[in-house]
Every structure is written in C-alpha cells, then in structure tokens.
Chain A
Amino acid sequence: MGKEECKTMLDALNKVTACYRHLVIALGSTSDSQNLREELKKTRKKAQELAVANRTKLTSLLKDKTISKEDRAEYERLWVLFSSCMELLEVDMKRSLEIAQDFPLKVPTRHLIQTGMTGSTTTVAARAMSVQNMKYEADSNIDTADLRDLQAEITQVSQMMEEMEMKVQVAPWAVEAKQEAGAELKSNMSVGNSSVGVISICEEEPKEEEGGGGSRETGFASICAVIGFFVIVIVALVLGYLVVNM
C-alpha cells in the first residue's frame, strides 16, 4: 500500500535528519575529527537519496486524481511532514558548511572549541546509515574537498525545495495533525532513567524530584545488592550444611 511505503520512507528520512543534526552539533567542538566530517558526508548523501525517493513517491501519489479524499488528506499530511524535514535538513546543511569553513581541521593555528564532548559520533552515524559499524575510507583533505561538494549539494537541495513549492499545491494550514499535544508521552520511550539522577547538575528547579529519583535509584540498587549478598550467604550455608552432613 502506498501509504505504508511512504510512511516508512519518511520515517527513514526523519531518522537520518535527526542523526545529521546530532552530527552537526558536534562540528567545531572537541569531538570534531576527520571521521566526523566523513560521517557527515555519508549521512548527507543518504539523506539526499531518501529525500529524492520520498519526493518522487509523494508527488506521484499527489498527482493521482483517482485517490479518495481521506487518502489525499493523508498524503498531504505526509507532504507537509516531508517538507518540514527538508527545511531542517537544508538549514543544517548550510550551517554545517559555515561551521566547517570556520573550523578547518588541518590548520594548526585554528583550534577546536573545548565543549566537554570528547566521545566519537560513530554510533550515531551508524544509526543513520543503518549499518552495524562505520567504515572510514576518506582521504586526508576531506575538510576542503568536501566543502565544495557540500556547496553543490546545498544548491541542489534548495532547488529541489523550490520546485516542490512550485509544483505541488498543498496548503499546509489545511493539514491537521494526528497527534494531540503531549502525544510523545504516551509512547513507551523509557528515556535513560540512569541519566535522571545526574541531570540534577544541569537543572535547578526539579532538583528535589531528580535528586529523590537518583537516590531512589541508588537506594534500590543497594537494596538489590544486599539481598543478593544474603541469598549467596544462605546458599553457601545450605551447601556447607549439606557438605558437613554428608
């Protein structure tokens, strides 16, 4: 069914956009590196492929006059989501060009900003590319050579967006969202309960609950440890009793 296919493609593009943004945030900071530049390049290319695929699919569906009204409304909604995604992607690409130009990697006098992020972004890129491990094969002057490609790609994306606006007549204001406010809470996203206790460093207001949550966490862990210890001691005693009585 066209709808399911569209949705999966859009989800894929959404995922790649989120990962791309994550990678661009790391540009210019201490987690920036040769590998990051290459990851950006690969993610970008993947995003573009997905974007083109999405666009062709959606335009062909929207041009079809024989679809029902509900279907058309659904496709229009998907179209609006697709164009918002492309907007984010375009801005992120432009920003990545700017930041990459300001922070070239090979110039020894230009230092990266020490932001506290020191880990690598390999896993994020792997998620974007839907692979297990990332392979790096770029040559050493990726930061200069890549920028030219990036500029060309940015113009491509801008052109594509212009075409989209011109050719497809979808009124964004007529689209109604399916999710109501607070819908994201209903999903089963168990977001890092382990990070809850430590976020009290960042936040100020909900400190008490966070601190309580954190100590509840650690309390629970210590209770578990104590119980485990006693279980082991009891098992040892039983075994010892059995051995003694053997």
Chain B
Amino acid sequence: MTINTLAKGGCHREQMACFRKMEKVIVAMQDPDMGMKMRNQRLLITVIPHAMTGHDIIAWLTHKYRISEEESLHLGNMLVKYGYIYPLKEPRCLVLRPDESPYRFQTPYFWTSTRWPASELDYAIYLAKKNIRKQGELMEYEKERYSLLHKRINHTWDFVVMQAREQLRASKQRRKADRIVLECQEQAYWLINRPPPGVNNVLDTGLERPNNFSCRVTLNSDYYKREIEACRKALGRNRVKSSICLEGFLKYSEQYLNHDPIMQGCLPSNPWISDDTAHWTMNAEIVPVPTRLRVERWSFSFMELLNDAMGRREFMTYLEKEFSAENLYFWQACEDIRHGESSKIVEKVEDIYKNFLAPGAARWVNIDSKTMDKTLEGIKRPHRFVMDDAQMHIYFLMKKRDNDPKCSKITLA
C-alpha cells in the first residue's frame, strides 16, 4: 500500500493561491462571448476543435486585463509552465510563443495541484501504458524511472500492469480524436509533474517554502471560537501606553545624544575618514584611562556599568572595599555560563555551587530561600539558563544596594 498523501486526520492540503488564481484566468477564457477565440486543429484525417494560437492568447490577456504585451506574455508563459495550457506542436517545450503555434487547454483533472500531488503509482501506470503503446520504445530517462519504480513499488506491480491494460482498453472505447487529445493531455501532465532530467521542476519551491496565508478559511463555529480565544488572550496582555513609551524613548535619545558618534561626531576623529585609529585605541575594552564619555555612560544605568569591562573592574574595587564583592563575582560567573561553551556548562555550574551557593562556601551569596530552592533543583539537571533566577536576584540586589550616588562619585573621580 502506498503512503496515502492525504493522511487521515493529518493536515489538509490546500491548493496554492497562485494556482487558484491561474484557474480563474483559465475559466474566464472559456466564456463563449468574451473568451478565447477557438480554432480547429487539423491532423491527417481528424479534426480536433478547441485549439488556439499563442498570439490569440496574448491578445486576449492584453485586452481582458488591460496590461502591456510584455506582461501578458509573462502571464501566458506562467500558464503554460504550470500546465494549464499545453503546446501542441512541441510538447516538451513549455513556452508560450507569440505566433501561430497552437495550444490547448488542459482538463481540470490534470491541472497542477498542490492538493492532489501526482503519486508514484499513477506515474508507474502511465509509464506502463506508454510502454505498451510504444512497444518498449520509452525515452532513456523514462526507462530508468520505470525500472526504479519497478523496484520501489514492486509489491503492487501486478496492479500497475493490470490497471495500465484496462485504462488503455477503456480509452479505446472513445473515438479517435478524443483518444489523441487524451494522450496529449496525459503527456503534458506528466511532463510537468515528473519533468525530464535537466528541466526545472516547477513544483519545487526550493529552500523558501512559500506561505499560504491567503488560504481559504471556512467561517464555521470552530473558526469563530478560535478567534474569540485569541482576542481574549490579547485583551489580557499587558500594554504600555504609547505616550509613556514615547516619553521613555525621548529620554533615552536625549541622554545618549552626546554619546552618539553619528550625531555628535567622534573625537579625536572618525577613523573611517581620517584613517587615524586613535578613536579605537582610546575606546578599547581595557585601557589605562577610560574616556570621559565612557565614564559618564556608567552613571546612566546599572546595566551600562556592568556591561563595560572597565566599569565592572571599578565596581569590583569599590565592592571589595565594602566587603560585598561576592555578588559581582557571582553575577560574572553566571554570565560566563550563559555566554560560554556548552561543553563546560556542567563543570561551571559545579564551580558556582561550590564557591557561591553551598552552605559555608567561600563567597556565599545571599539569595532568598525560594530562589535558592529552585536553583538547587535546577542544578541537578544543569543547562545554560539554570542560574538565571539567582542571577536576576543578585542583579537587583546590587542595583539597589551598591549602585548609589556614592559609587558613581567614586568612579567618576
């Protein structure tokens, strides 16, 4: 049994939006008054109706959608490429020629469909039919695919042969013109769904799978229930008034205005313009003397201070004087885990526990009992973010206690 592409209860495939649009164009072409002009195709003795020239197609598209000829050529090309119209003269060349070359519409069963992808079983039946009709004279790539399929779906190969014979017998019941049309239709379908080697598969969307956001939604009670739930959740979310957001943004901009190299220019000079790298050397991670602007930034917020290596060093010296440096050491160790190598996480967590969290540790940090319990639980299964709660607690502790005007004055001095 082949794998059923429409899994029971699985996701229901939708027809891609671009195909639905192309189908609409095709149906519009069928209008007896405003549609395409049809001609007859004359073969040796049979006459088959409903053929059209490439030129007619382009003229119709230009007239109906009021677009330029170039655009309608492109649109017509798409219709041919995706199999809604197939050429009669050179069936393997899926290109719309703006001249007298004949084309014909494809029957809805053989329209390109993401909803009903062509199955291996069908392809095997088609190849078997072709084998019978041509008495073994398949093309090289078809022969290869045939033997591959024979191996792959060998368990149902008898069915393939049976069905191929029956389908041929059924088509013999129709008159000759219809038989020819049927063969051309099927051939066109398989040229698109199983293209010969070297030809792009138009159904292959490559690395970026297109989103089908405009898929049809049935407006039933399930849909409305989901919408109500989504809106209810949205109502419960915390929102900040835009006036407050904008005030905050304004304050930030004013505060950092002097520090922005684009707005204020950078001293001594812009290295990109003057080729003088003094600016970079002066603002390196670790310098003997930090610039004045840099130190000013430390007073803006605690996070600025902590993020700057020199600021951390100054802060550390300050804390050591106050005999509360373990907080900062703890914070730094937690940062190290978060941003460090995965392989070292386990040993780093062990170290932190030994040095900071174990009762009687050398640098015991003062965390509240709830966070401590949670962290100790988490240490049993250490991962990158296991110390996050404790780190947050210590951060706020430091911010409240130690980051006061005293500290800033000391550092700025």
Contacts and interface: CB of A to CB of B under 8 A. Distances in A.
Interface of A: 11, 14-15, 17-19, 21-22, 24-31, 77, 80-81, 83-85, 87-88, 91, 94-95, 98-99, 102-103, 110-119, 121, 123-124, 126-128, 158, 162, 165, 172-185, 187, 189, 191-192, 194-195, 197-199, 201-206, 209, 214
A84 B2 contact: yes
Contacts of B131: 182, 184-185
Contacts of B38: 114
B177 A119 contact: yes
A19 B163 CA distance: 10
B179 interface: yes
Contacts of A11: 162
A14 B162 CA distance: 7
Interface residues of B, number: 82
Nearest to A173: B155
A185 B133 CA distance: 9
A177 B181 contact: no
Contacts of A195: 176, 179-180
Contacts of B31: 111
B158 A177 contact: yes
Contacts of B8: 158, 162
B162 A81 contact: yes
A116 B159 contact: no
Interface stretch (B106-114, B244-252, B289-297, B336-344): B106-114
B147 A181 contact: yes
8 contacts: A14-B166, A27-B108, A28-B107, A115-B106, A116-B177, A162-B8, A177-B156, A195-B180
A21 B126 CA distance: 13
B58 to A, nearest CB: 18
A198 B90 CA distance: 14
B44 interface: yes
A174 B287 CA distance: 75
A198 B44 contact: yes
Contact of B163 (A17, A116, A198): A17
A80 B155 contact: yes
B121 A84 contact: yes
B129 to A, nearest CB: 8
A119 B178 CA distance: 7
Main secondary structure of the interface of A (DSSP, over half): helix
B184 interface: yes
Contact of A29 (B108, B137, B158): B108
A25 B161 contact: no
B170 A204 contact: no
Nearest to A185: B136
Contacts of B380: none
B165 A115 contact: no
B63 to A, nearest CB: 18
B167 A177 contact: no
B51 to A, nearest CB: 7
A182 B276 CA distance: 78
Contacts of B27: 110-111, 113
A113 B30 contact: yes
Given A18-B170, A115-B106, A115-B107, A80 B181 contact: no
